A and B are shown apart, each in its own frame.
Chain A
Amino acid sequence: MSLLERLNFINNLQLGDVQSSDEMTVVPLIGTLRNNIAPPEALQFSRTTTYGSMEFKNTSREDPVIIPSHMMVRGKSAQDHAMSGSGVVLAASDRLFENACCVEETQGGYLSSTQTVQTDVLPAALRKALLDPTKRNKREFGKLWGGIKTWLRKFQKFPTVSRGHIRDFFEQPDYKKSLEQFAAEFEPVDGQIGALILFNGVPVGLEIMPSAQHWEAYWKWLIRGCYGSQLINMKESGELSRSTMILPNLTNETPDGEVEAIISDFVNNIKLSMVPMLESINISSETQMDSIGNLKTQLLRTDGGGGGDLITQDDEPVYLSIVL
């Protein structure tokens, strides 16, 4: 089954103008509010109670809240943690997720809501490592350490790193600066609820939030933490070649009045070329991971080894986060 068929709301989405910077392209998905999900500010990270457990609070009295897939929380003097997938917390309640991952191998201590923490989403490659339902559900806090070390060793600055500390990358001043700059390169547009993300013209992620408010709150975590970090990783390891977009040909003979039309056509054609890409994403398997209240979480696997979470409310899709 194609992903578009599975997401019956995709027909209500429109593609926004393409944003592109160096090797990364972001195609905004524009749509309207879907169902009854609490606003992002209702979600509060409370603490880690033991290694591998993350507790969240929903301050909304009316609606359930969604924890974005593979949300990562980093803080000083405590073991940094990341969710093994997405999560749902019902209205006015707390929920403990005991299958979370420690992402700072040799650091002790628990995170708490009183300390200053940085939040992001795990890099795309590490998210892929959590697509196996058995691994995801396993209560083993060190399950990502090996993956983190492998991922870190691809950077020129950490060729022989011996510890699974993801913050080694996120706190390294040069990479930190690159990520901030990267986040500034892309901007949410009016009504945007999601995006298709591509590296060198190849789709690497599809993200759809319940509302524009959610996108506004989480896009930086995704662009910086998930995709920006992955792009730097792939460029430094040589898995992704450096490239720039070939811009439309404008000659001395091009009439002044036609320049705008030529460029607009060029930009629209890029946009149109995304539709077959979206249509070609096929779901190879679907596993229910969670069911709470009127929300269900499915782990989708796509052809080619990608996958991610789909959350439905009363069987209507409200959230999708897929790495390809």
Chain B
Amino acid sequence: MDALAVNYKSKLAKLVRHALGKQDLYHILNNDQKLYKKLIGRYNRNAYPVVCFLFGRAPIKSDVSPYFPQVEAYLELKFDAASGDVDEFRKNMKKLPWRTVMGFRNTFKLKIEKSEILEATKMSDKDKLQTQSAQKRSGVKTVRKVNYEKQDIYDLWKLFYHKLLNNDADEMDKITGAIDVVDKKIPKIDFGEAAVVVDMSHSMRGSDERPLHPMLTSMCLLSTIDNIGSVHFVSGRMVEISGTPYSAKVASGSTPLWKGLIDAVLSGAKTIIVISDGYENAVKGMFQHVYKHFKDSGKEFDLLQLNPVFASDSKSGTARTLVEGDKAIPVANYKHLETEFIFRKMLENTELVKNLLVGRYQKLIGR
């Protein structure tokens, strides 16, 4: 718990303030133990010093217990930083996560190299992965080793595309290998034999806040779907790291999704899954036109649109859709595909939803 408090101090403080309200929080911080026990203590009776820590209150002496060494280390390091004692800071920083240490370094303008912090502080595997470029830029002697196979597939794809777009082939063999390994471990959902159409147009690059997010989610969704007969990428451009075998499509260009639909229907698949933000422009309405044509001419297939983007009109719980009357399923995180499908398609796909629920139940009871 104290590690979380140290790592996410301000975020957690905001959350606790929001959950308790200003008045209750005020009383708790002023040692109202009865209220503390009622609201927090019943979940963890020893957490009082951590709550005090979150709000910058000095913990009551007797409460500073060895249960929270990270809090103690944090306060100690803050003291070193505030008093400008770089030697002590250097010694004590090893006990704390790199973000916290870097925060103190910047706030108190300490004369200590970034590379030292990136080399010596605590880092999870995910941190190591996320700071790879920063480590190299800062000039660390050795970049910290990452166990790629323990990473989330989203983070692996993110790293893969980051390296691809920066023409950096370093460790790409390990990353692509890990993608294969992790892909196999992800529980799959069987929608029946499926052809998947993936929108790789410009809008799938996402926003400045979360660059490439829709495209990365699409790649992860491919790992979540079982029984894929064929994948049809629409638009996009090939990017390669010159002189290496590493290349992939990157979102780019317009959205002639109808081309993908034709290929998918002609593949004979009974389920066609379209992963798209629903912004069709080449030309708008052509997807539905082709869909209707194939349906009218007796082709038997089910269409399922997964939308990895919460569009401006999706605040009301819907995502932008390609075929009128056939609601898209918003899937901003690939891990939520099964849950979203169960809740949103309960009435239309009763049989499949039933099977998914049975599967979940069996997993729950360990069969």
Contacts and interface: CB of A to CB of B under 8 A. Distances in A.
B286 A263 contact: yes
A202 interface: no
A259 B279 contact: no
Contacts of A252: 296-298
A245 interface: yes
Interface string A216-258: 0000000000000000000000000000110110101010110
Interface stretch (A79-87, A114-122, A153-161, A187-195): A187-195
Contacts of A247: 283, 285-286, 289
A22 interface: yes
A250 B281 CA distance: 20
Interface residues of B, number: 31
Interface in B223-272: 237, 252-256, 258-259, 262, 265-266
Interface string A161-191: 0000000000000000100110011111110
Given A19-B254, A181-B312, A259 B290 contact: yes
Nearest to A260: B262
B282 A267 contact: yes
A256 B289 CA distance: 14
Given A250-B289, A259-B290, A259-B293, A187 B281 contact: yes
Contacts of A187: 201-203, 253-255, 279, 281
B283 A245 contact: yes
Interface in B181-203: 201-203
Contacts of B289: 247-248, 250
Contacts of A22: 284
Contacts of A78: none
A18 interface: yes
A185 B202 contact: no
Contact of A185 (B266, B281, B290, B296): B281
A94 interface: no
Contact of A190 (B203, B252, B281, B298): B252
A107 interface: no
A63 interface: no
Nearest to B296: A252
Contacts of B112: none
Interface string B198-218: 000111000000000000000
B57 to A, nearest CB: 35
A112 to B, nearest CB: 23
B285 A19 contact: no
B324 interface: no
Interface string A128-152: 0000000000000000000000000
A190 B265 CA distance: 28
Given A18-B283, A184-B311, A185-B281, A190 B290 contact: no
Interface string B104-135: 00000000000000000000000000000000
B313 interface: yes
A187 B237 CA distance: 14
A17 B311 contact: no
B254 A181 contact: no
Given A18-B282, A189-B252, A184 B203 contact: yes
B296 to A, nearest CB: 6
Contacts of A259: 262, 290, 293
A248 B258 CA distance: 13
Contacts of A248: 289
B10 to A, nearest CB: 23
A21 interface: yes
Contact of A189 (B254, B259, B279): B254
Nearest to A252: B297
Nearest to B313: A181
B285 A244 contact: yes
A129 B202 CA distance: 34
A284 interface: no
Contacts of B283: 18-21, 25, 245, 247, 267, 270
A190 B250 CA distance: 11
A189 B290 contact: no
Nearest to B204: A187
Contacts of B286: 247, 263
A110 B154 CA distance: 45
Nearest to A180: B312
A256 B268 CA distance: 12
A270 B237 CA distance: 24
A159 B249 CA distance: 49
Of B262, B281, B296, B311, most buried by chain A (CB within 10 Å of CB) is B281
B243 to A, nearest CB: 22
A20 B284 contact: yes
A130 to B, nearest CB: 30
A263 to B, nearest CB: 6
Contact of B281 (A186, A254, A256, A260): A186
A16 B254 CA distance: 10
Interface in A258-273: 259-260, 263, 267, 270
15 contacts: A19-B254, A19-B282, A19-B283, A20-B284, A28-B254, A177-B313, A185-B281, A186-B281, A187-B203, A189-B252, A189-B254, A190-B252, A245-B284, A250-B293, A252-B296
CB-based closest 9 A-B pairs: A187-B202, A20-B283, A19-B281, A250-B293, A21-B284, A189-B253, A252-B297, A247-B289, A260-B262
Given A250-B293, A270-B283, 4 more contacts: A18-B283, A185-B284, A259-B293, A263-B286
